[in-house]
Amino acid sequence: MDACLHVHAAAVRQLAISRHVTSWLDGDTSEFGLCYLMSQEGFVHQQGCNQPVRFVCRGAAGTDSALPSPPPSQLSQACVDPFTYAYKKIEYRNPAERGRLYILYDINGPDGCLNDFQTAKAVCARDKLELAPQDDSKSLAAVSQLVRSRRVTSWLDGKTSESAGLCYLMSQEGFVHQQGCNQPVRFVCRGAAARP
């Protein structure tokens, strides 16, 4: 238990940047429900504590071995297939777009199904929707409406440095960032534009 306490920020920064992932950090925040998080760029932010995010543990000084990983049979099998998983779908009809439908695909229980960027786009397409884009102010307002009140992050579609492994993401505060595309994150799909 004590191994995850007081993680050394320089070591975490090196891991986060080199692998394009975020990681929890230990420490007390000034706001209830927020915890420290290091972004893939090495910056420290506060994020909702209940989100699934990678983390780095360290051993006591002089420890040179880690505990073995659990066998595959002990890992969660709740999300074997992201295309058949029973997501908790939270709908929002954007009044600025004449009621255009936006759906937050959220986890349904503790063993949820969060997806990388490409899988999120594919799940939206399977449902005859599109991943909400980052280059449309009405879309950003709708996604913000869904994620801010729930303190979650969401993938956004748009042209990025995907070849460099970066994709758009809206933070729980409603800010747009680029994040490692292979990280498991919630996502918002939207329906076709309302007809005039």
The number of folded domains in the chain is 2
Instruction: Specify the residue for token string 């969401």.
Output: 154
pLDDT of residue 74: 37
Same domain? For 104 and 180 the reply is yes
Same domain? For 112 and 166 the reply is yes
Please give the structure tokens belonging to residue 139.
């879309």
Residues spanned by the domain of 17: 2-59
Same domain? For 95 and 182 the reply is yes
Instruction: Judge whether residue 76 has pLDDT over 70.
Output: no
pLDDT of residue 183: 82
Same domain? For 22 and 110 the reply is no
CA–CA dist 30, 56 (Å, integer): 22
In this structure, what CATH number is given to the domain that contains residue 141? 3.10.100.10
Q: How many CA atoms lie within 13 A of 169 on its CB side?
A: 28
Amino acid at position 101, single letter: L
Long-range contacts of 89-95 (CB under 8 A, 24+ apart): 90/146, 90/150, 92/142, 92/145, 92/146, 94/138, 94/141, 94/142, 94/145
Banded model confidence at residue 195, pLDDT cuts 50, 70, 90: low
Amino acid at position 112, single letter: G
pLDDT of residue 2: 34
Please give the structure tokens belonging to residue 133.
């884009």
Higher-pLDDT residue of 98 and 60 is 98
Banded model confidence at residue 38, pLDDT cuts 50, 70, 90: confident
Q: Which H or E run contains 103?
A: strand 100-106
* Predicted TM-score of the model (pTM): 0.67
Sign of the CA dihedral running 121, 124, 130, 135: negative
Same domain? For 50 and 98 the reply is no
What is the separation of C-alpha 150 from the centre of its chain, rounded to a whole number of angstroms?
13
Quick one: average pLDDT of 62-88?
A: 60
Name the domain boundary from 59, 74, 98: 59
- Sequence-ordered strand ranges (E) for the chain: 23-25, 34-38, 44-48, 88-94, 100-106, 130-131, 154-156, 166-170, 176-180, 186-190
pLDDT (tens digit per residue) in 115-154: 888 999 999 999 999 999 999 999 999 999 999 888 888 9
Q: What's the chain's Rg over C-alpha atoms?
A: 18
